[in-house]
Amino acid sequence: MFDWDDLRIFLAVARMKRVAPAARALGMDATTVGRRLARLSAALDADLFEQVGADRILTQRGAALLRHAESVEGAALAAVADIKGERHSLSGLVRLSVAEGFGTAILAPGIPAFHQRHPDIDIDVVATSGFLNPSKREADMAVMLARPQRAHLLVEKLADYGLHLYASAAYLGRYGAPRGRSDLSDHVLIGYVPDHLFSPELDYLDEVQVGAAARLRSSSIGIQRRMVQEGAGIGILPDFFAADDPTLVKILGEEVEIRRSFWLVTHSDMARLARIEAVADLIRAQVRRTAERGLMTG
């Protein structure tokens, strides 16, 4: 017999890929989760997961069920929002996943005024080594570096922005400024740790010079900027994060420019909630302000 609540358990395991963390999130023991998955599989007469070590990997039929289960979940959440009046309420929690540089330089300056206007909206700004995924309900919204292809997501292009090479005046005084790309091999480059790139859009050293490698690395753009400020080397930094910093000097500005984009991503079932729309408006307004300063193209 099919139990609709088993879909909730299936979703948790499909998203976390392991039974133990899914059980903790559900407030259940792992044995019960395993039994409920087996019951769902038997009711549907389908193998939903393949077990690879401790991981549970969706089968083709499991992936098909995931799409339907997410639609059911979305409809249930929308119904709850309507009944509780949340759709029009400017209150509650919004979890927003952003890149560190975007959160620091663009979003954070606008949050104090936003909180004064909407004191009942709580915001979690999550800047981790990878974007939380709205399609998996890990976040309500995300600002991403690439347009996602998943269904059930509303995607809006926010802006294009440029990245350039930057160094401190002290560094240039000691080592001189490179006159072209080929001179960069004589300098210390600062960049990301290759094994910790949370998006392929951050892998841009080859766009500056084929074969270039950073010798000083961090998964944090804030730490990279601080190393550049302190004269440790030359770094590739977003203009919105560096161009108006008086301690930094743009290098090879006409020869080396990298272009990237920001995308606002929201689960389609959440987008109509008033608190989500309010935070989306905050993000758009902060992007416009940054564009008006000439630091990105909105």
Sequential pLDDT tens for the chain (298 residues):
667 888 888 988 988 888 988 888 888 888 998 899 999 988 888 898 998 888 899 999 888 888 888 777 766 666 665 655 555 568 888 989 999 999 999 999 999 999 999 999 999 999 875 556 665 667 888 999 988 876 678 899 999 999 999 999 999 999 999 999 989 989 999 999 988 877 888 888 888 887 788 999 999 999 999 999 999 999 999 999 998 899 999 999 888 999 999 999 988 777 788 899 999 999 999 999 999 999 998 7
233 CB-side CA count, 13 A: 18
Domain 160-260 maps to which CATH number in 3.40.50.720, 3.40.47.10, 3.40.190.10, 3.40.50.620?
3.40.190.10
CA 38 – CA 64 distance, rounded (Å): 17
Query: Tens digit of pLDDT for each residue in 223-248?
Result: 999 999 999 999 999 999 998 899 99
230: tokens are 């302190």
Phi, psi of 267 (to 5 degrees): -65, 135
Classify domain 5-84 by CATH number: 1.10.10.10
Q: Which CATH number is correct for 86-157+261-292, 3.40.190.10, 3.40.50.920, 3.20.20.70, 3.40.30.10?
A: 3.40.190.10
Q: Choose among 173, 168, 160: nearest CA to 190.
A: 168
Domain ranges across the chain: 5-84, 86-157+261-292, 160-260
Which residues does 248 contact at the CB level (< 8 Å), separation at least 6?
Answer: 166, 167, 168, 225, 228, 229, 237, 242
Note whether 25 and 14 are within 8 A (CB): no
- DSSP state letters, 50-81: EEETTEEEE-HHHHHHHHHHHHHHHHHHHHHH
The pLDDT of residue 242 is 93
Strand partners, 166: 235, 250
109-134 pLDDT, tens digit each: 999 999 999 999 999 999 875 556 66
